[in-house]
Structures are given as structure tokens and as C-alpha cells.
Amino acid sequence: MDTEKDVWTVKYRPHTLDDVIGNEQSVTTIRQLVQSNNLPHLVFHGPVNSGKASVAFALAFELYGEGYERNFTYFNASDFFDQGKRYLVRDKRFIRIIGTDDPKKIRKSVIAIFKEVINEYAGTGSIDADYKVIFIDNAESLNLDAQHALRRIMEKYNATCRFILSTTQPSRLIPPLRSRGLQLFFTYLSDAKLIEYARLIAAKEGLTISDDGSDAIAYHSKGNLAKALLTMQIASLSLQSGDCEITQQLIYETVLGETHGDVTGLLEFALAGDIIAARKLIDKLLIEDGMSGSEILEQLHGVVVASNETDADIAKYVNKIAEADLRMLDASNARIQLEAMVANF
């Protein structure tokens, strides 16, 4: 077995558009745009880990080659606006603009810094290409002021810069921003494609996957390739010396270990009616542990199904989780929806 410690989602990230698995229609469209030398602004939308960021980086490689970093800039809007000044001082790219590494000494607002940063990157022309690309991930985290500012910047620097916006919630982007980019939808893999790719990666790592192990990976991942690779890598670490087969039982044990302990506590507080304690755990999961609202709901669903509650109660709680998941699609704040859900358990 390969003993390298690289995370498999990074190690096997697609290098070019030809390496991308799934989302054939969107990838084909992007390839045609690259070949026509007429790339517009793009809006990638789809669920978490559906390949949006991977395709953006592969596109940059197709456009600029090995030195794509000279003309390709990545920003995570969630880091920028959810973490604010604490994030800004950790990113060396912003030190010159904010003038300090102490968040308490930053005098400018986060939105003012965002406008200044994007203006500077977009306004600096490319030396060896017709235009540069700025990729903004988790664009749904941009507040209204930031979105309106971004719309104006996209118009101003259209000749020298292309923007790629990636989001899981396109409805949270203002219509003028959505209309300025070609919208491309990304989705999860089919079980057949996911299993085929999982077996390919396992072979590269000197491993095999049993038939029931493949079914377990597909069932647990539900088309989410990143989740499948992470589960497989964790499972491989539990293999005994000389053993190289990932089985259903090994996947099952791995999945149980992936559940965050505080999610179990969240269910206990919700069932006990201790809303104050539940709110504190929600804050910890979202802010300190960096989980998304969808990740919390997904793990909570697993905890509920595996609980010792009656079938009728489990069905009721699962329904509450599903309702929260639906509301979260159009919500501007996942925390509010999570708190409303546990209050009504």
C-alpha cells in the first residue's frame, strides 16, 4: 500500500479538464469556450463537493499551463465574510493592504478590504495572457454590498479579467450578478461511476475493494466523490499489516467514526429541550469546527437513524431535519435554521 500521507482528495485532484470525472455537459461547454478563445464570466452552482473548484483549477491549467498561478487567483468568500478580520490577518496576500497582523488594529471594514482587494487583482493586467481569472468560491457568503460591488468590478474590468463564481445556493446571488456569467450546473456522480473511480484509486494505492465494500462506499457517499475518497483513505489506515482489501465492515466502522461527537450531543440537548446548550454547540460546530449547515444536518440524520428512539419518533425527527435542509437552501444564515430545528424537536 502507498504510504504517502497526502490527502487523496488533493493527491488525485484533476489536473486538466480531461481528468475530470462526471459533469460531462458542463466540462464539454467549458472546453469549447476555451478552444474558441471566448471565455465569459462563469457561475458554477451545485452541491458541496460536486467538482466546482476542481474544474475551476483544471480550467486555469488549460488556459495558462504549469504557471497558471500567475494569472489565476482564488478567494473563498466564506473565509472572507464568515471569519472576517481573523482570516484576513492569516492570509499573507492581505498584509500590505491592511497594514497589520493584529485583527484588533484593522481600521477598515471587511467589505472595504474586499472591494480594495478585488479591485487591485482585477485591475492588474496579465503579462503573458489576454486576461486573468479570479475564482470566488462559496459566493453565497458575499453580502449584498459585496455582490453589488463585485457586479461593478466585473463590468469595469471585463476586458482584462474573467470571474468564476462558485456557489451551492445560486438563489442567494443577486440577479444582476447571476446574469453576468454563464451558469453551469454541477452534480454528484452516479453510483456506477463513483465505484469505477473508487476502484481505480484503490488500485493506485495498492488496495482492492470487495463488492460489498463498493456498495457500502456508494451508499454512504451518495455520489460525493470527495466523501468517498476520504472514507476510503480513513478505512485504509485501519487495515492490518498484509491486508489490502477494503470491505463493507471496514467502511461501516469508518463511517461510525466520522460522526462528530458534538453532533450526538446536539441531538441529546434537542431531545432534552435544552435550547441554550444546543445553541452553544451549533456555534461551536459552525465557527470553531468549521462545519457547514449541510454537514451538520447530514451527520445529525445518521445519529437519529442509529438512535434507540422509536420508529415513529425517528421518522418525526428525520422529517424535521429534511424541512431544515430545504429551508437552508434559500436561507442567508444556516445558524438560524439549525436553531429553529432543534427548538422544534
Q: pLDDT tens digit string along 238-289?
A: 888 888 999 999 998 887 666 667 888 899 899 989 999 999 999 888 888 7
Residue of 54, 41, 70, 40 lying closest to 164 (CA atoms) = 41
Evaluated on CA atoms 112, 113, 118, 123, the torsion sign reads positive
Q: Are 235 and 251 in contact (CB under 8 A)?
A: yes
Q: Are 72 and 133 in contact (CB under 8 A)?
A: yes
Is 23-185 a domain of CATH 3.40.50.300? Answer: yes
What CA–CA distance (Å, rounded) separates 206 from 186?
31
Instruction: Give the architecture-level CATH label for domain 191-258.
Output: Orthogonal Bundle (1.10)
What pLDDT, on the 0 to 100 scale, is given for residue 332?
63
For the beta sheet containing 161-167, the strands, ordered from the edge strand earlier in sequence to the opposite edge, are 72-76, 132-137, 161-167, 42-45, 182-185
What pLDDT, on the 0 to 100 scale, is given for residue 44?
97
SS3 185: strand
Residues facing 245 on adjacent strands: 208
CA distances from 301 to 191, 226, 254, 316 (A): 21, 19, 17, 11
Provide the mean pLDDT of the chain: 88
Domain edges within the chain: 23-185, 191-258, 261-343
Average pLDDT over residues 5-24: 91
Quick check: 3 pLDDT over 70? no
Average pLDDT over residues 126-132: 87
Produce one character per residue of 226-244: b if its CB has 16 or more CB atoms within 10 Å, e if not: bbbbbbbbbbbeeeeeeee
**Percent of the chain scoring above 70 in pLDDT:** 96
Q: Are 140 and 167 in contact (CB under 8 A)?
A: yes
What CA–CA distance (Å, rounded) separates 50 from 32?
21
What pLDDT, on the 0 to 100 scale, is given for residue 2?
44
Look up residue 214 and give its three cell numbers: 463498493
Q: Does 94 or 177 have the greater pLDDT score?
A: 177
Residue with cell string 435544552: 274
Is 261-343 a domain of CATH 1.20.272.10? Answer: yes
pLDDT bucket at 188, cuts 50 / 70 / 90: very high
- Of 7-21, 67-81, 107-121, 260-274, highest mean pLDDT: 7-21
What pLDDT, on the 0 to 100 scale, is given for residue 80?
79
Average pLDDT over residues 288-314: 84
